[in-house]
Amino acid sequence: MPGYRTLLKTTLLAAAVAFTLPAEAGKRDNSVKWASNQVPESLDAYFNNVRIGVILAHHIWDTLIYRDPKTNEYKPSLATAWRWIDDKTLEFDLRKGVKFHNGEAFDADDVAYTLNFVSKPENKSTTQQNVNWIASAEKVEQFKVRIHLKKPFPAALEYLAGPVVMYPGEYYAKVGPKGMSANPVGSGPYMVVEAQPGRLVRLKRNPDYFKESLKPQPKIETLELRLVPDQNTQTAELMAGGLDWIFNVPPDQAQQLKTVPSLQVKSGETMRIVFLTMASGEKTPTPVLKDIRVRKAISHAINREAMLKTVVGESARVIYTQCFPTQFGCTDEGAPRYNYDPAKAKALLKEAGYPNGFEIDLYAYRERPQTEAMIGYLRAVGIRANLRFMQYAAMRDSIREHKAGFAHQTWGSFSVNDVSASTPVYFKFLADDVTRDQEVRDLLDVGDTSVKAEVRKVAYKNALKKIAEQAYSVPMYSLPVYYAYAKDLEFRPYPDEIPRFWEYRWK
């Protein structure tokens, strides 16, 4: 996209000339001002599934268990101890003396209310896959609770250390999801003091954060998240000192920012994977994708290795099945690989009855240069893809309402290091499943629920193999993240794609 790149370079050069002061606005008042190009549809963690909402959730709320990001060990958080009573029952001893931001004291009633509310399908949690394994939560004593599972779910602890956060029960019962989004209340290291939908979220350090937490007591006083959709604007404001930290910086822009003395740039692979979904089920709005030869042609048409070098960036890797390689159960063993072969793609299209290709809409919501590169490869074999670029929630709803059949998607698994948080979301008859293959669903269910590790691995392997054989999706690559920030800000990136602002400090 020459116009985009020319504009990008012009913006950066202009910013470099205009702004010569160090980008240290936040250092003066011990704050960090940062920006995102995504808008969380709700600040209620259970009614959001975009990354920016996940990041905020880790700062506002706490979980029963803490997973150490350096060792992946499970450690105490709101729970001091836990045990399996049987294959479907977990018991937790809860920490005493913890208070929510509104002064409510934390105990078993809060755990029970939170989990019983969000796990009920009628309450329509957006992130059902994070809680649909819960049958109920039961208060045993004031500081002891049991979680009953619908069926065995070995990954339960991983979820309870990640996306399953705890709410103040009395407050949530009173205000519900809308009230929690408007005025979030948690027990976490930061508390929300201002939320302007579509504009900004301002958080302040929680002065009463419990000292036993393995999240360090925050050094930064104030966090201010601004929603800035345009990446060039984010970059210019970072260089001007109006922002202190930005992420998801495009690779070519990151390379140029490395030359700016007042900034630092870091990158690293994340658990987020990139893939194309192709609706081949009965309700598909794109019947052309029902033909396996068309799906295989699309898989052969895109040069993923070349994209890593040109538009994706350092640390990424090509993937051949729809999961992140470190997740339990993720494998590409036995799965066919659709290597870049435009001649084969054209032959498959001709065989399918499309010798001159066809026209189709391709939906996307982030990393636009990557989508445009994919479109270029598709057009080279005759598939005339029209870009439909929008906010994630709008794209997701279009897919779920069977209005969009072909999409460039990414998935970070809520940073859960288990296949149950990845592949089943798109292939287990949930809202985002656009293929509805019963064999795949049943294999994934075995993987999700068996208490035997080897049985889980075999089931996931066979499911991933079947998905690849049928070319139900196009696994692309893992996604690296480039961070750019003020030179005097101490920051450490993690593969789970969660910036831990409670660890940051100004030098």
Domain annotation for the chain: domains and CATH numbers: 21-60+180-267+482-506 (3.40.190.10), 65-179 (3.90.76.10), 269-480 (3.10.105.10)
Three-state DSSP state, 386:
strand
Averaged over successive runs of 10 residues, the pLDDT of the chain (507 residues) comes to 44 44 71 91 92 96 95 95 97 98 98 98 92 97 98 96 97 98 98 93 97 96 95 94 94 92 93 97 97 98 96 92 96 98 98 98 95 98 98 94 98 93 97 97 97 96 98 97 96 92 96
Q: Report the alpha-carbon distance of residue 25 to residue 30 in Å, rounded.
A: 9
Q: Report the alpha-carbon distance of residue 422 to residue 447 in Å, rounded.
A: 12
**What is the pLDDT, as a whole number, of residue 46?**
97
**What is the pLDDT, as a whole number, of residue 487?**
95
**What is the pLDDT, as a whole number, of residue 21?**
45
Judge contact between 60 and 52, C-beta under 8 A: no
Could you tell me how far CA 177 lies from the centroid of its own chain?
20
**What is the pLDDT, as a whole number, of residue 37?**
87
Strand 383-389 with 358-364, pairing: parallel
